[in-house]
Structure 1
Amino acid sequence: IIGGGVVGFNAAQMAAGLGADVTILDRDPDVLESVGTHFESRAKTRFSNKANLAECVAEADLVIGAVLIPGAEAPKLVTREMLKTMRPGSVLCDVAIDQGGCFETSKATTHEEPTYVVDDIVHYCVANMPGAVSRTSTYALNNVTLPHTLAIANKGWKNALKADAHLAEGLNVWNGQVTYKAVADDLGYDYMPVSEIVGATI
């Protein structure tokens, strides 16, 4: 599993629960420590660098790409050359496909035709994977977003953002100004902090 964030952690939970031999790669030592403490002997952790990644990919039956760079395209971490080191029939599952994918050979697929094969390696790159369980994922999304919607409706958007730093992080663009630094940096626009808009330090 490449990436130890929310997606990677939950993928590891599922795989470890099924008895799989799980390895989680990440570049953040704090994430590796947290994940390692949680899983103990049920999963291994490794620092994500070229050598460790190449070794793990070559040994894997399933590689889950769970890489996220907020506001930016996902880096292409698994190259086409690496596919040649994998056993035929192995699977690449690119959860980062909504941000362009983290495998060089990734291309977005649908639930109707979810997989394709490159160099004998099966690719699963469905955009919006939660759509496979649309009713459940809709309830989950509603449960998380409804409190924010009510706060905006009751307080007005500026006061709601001023009162909730987490909600304020969701503002990307206001009045032609990019208010999310990663997006501004990636697209080459000037950045305006949200605090300058709502009139408070967030």
Structure 2
Amino acid sequence: MTVLDRSLVRLRELDDLFQGRLLTRFATLEAVEEEVLMADLTVGAVLIPGAAAPKLIPRGLLAAMKPGSVLVDVSIDQGGCFETSHPTTHADPTYIIDGVVHYCVANMPGAVARTSTFALNNATLPYILQLADQGAVAALRNDPCLRAGLNIHCGRVTYRAVAEALGYDYLPPEDALAAA
């Protein structure tokens, strides 16, 4: 298994964690192409918060992949990271293009609703408690992680990627909260 990423810090963390049982590579276009052409299974998991996922595998590269290889597009909820991706469902999860099987189920955690609900609750409960204890504005002012999730405040877009994607004016969240 090979993991490609653009974060050298994350690649070093994975190297330390898996102690050679996993290969890591810096994600360049050439590295992606080389790995995809050799792979039996490619999992695309790209997230640019507030924006569409970039298309990492164009149709031409897909056509050169091994017949019967599989693409799993975890980024499908943000538009997908393979040019040939389109959302599917748990009831009809796959389709084939150029001999390559695509699995592009939107809301993949929905297949394990109970487990994913517990995971989501564990991740969000601390923030919910902050909001309840301090009130929204104070909690957002006091916690940079919580503030990083603010998209809209008093009708103004406070998340740069969302503002750019939608063509709206951007107001930094600190400025929006200072006026509140």
| Equivalenced residues, count | 179
- Alignment equivalent of 2:32, drawn from 53, 73, 80: 53
- Give 1:176-191 correspondences, 5 Å limit: 176-191=155-170
Deviation, 1:35, is 1.8
In 2, Cα distance between equivalents of 1:176 and 1:161: 16
**SS of residue paired to 2:91:** coil
- Alignment equivalent of 1:74, drawn from 48, 53, 59: 53
Deviation, 1:40, is 2.5
Question: Which residue identity does 2:27 align to in structure 1?
Answer: S
Question: Are 1:90 and 2:73 matched, yes or no?
Answer: no
Structure 1: where are the runs of 5+ without partners? 1-21
- Alignment equivalent of 1:138, drawn from 103, 117, 121: 117
Deviation, 1:164, is 1.4
Question: Are 1:124 and 2:100 matched, yes or no?
Answer: no
Structure 1 ranges of 4+ moved more than 6 A: none
Residue equivalent to 1:18: none
Residue equivalent to 2:42: 63
Deviation, 1:198, is 2.3
Question: TM-score, normalization: structure 1?
Answer: 0.83
Question: Which residue identity does 2:17 align to in structure 1?
Answer: H
In 2, Cα distance between equivalents of 1:143 and 1:25: 28
Residue equivalent to 2:19: 40
Question: Are 1:150 and 2:135 matched, yes or no?
Answer: no
Q: Calculate the aligned-residue CA RMSD, in Å.
A: 1.5
* % identical aligned pairs: 56
Tell me the alpha carbon deviations over residues 17-52 of structure 1, each in whole angstroms, 9 at most, x when there is no partner.
Answer: xxxxx1111122222222222223111111211211
Structure 2: where are the runs of 5+ without partners? none
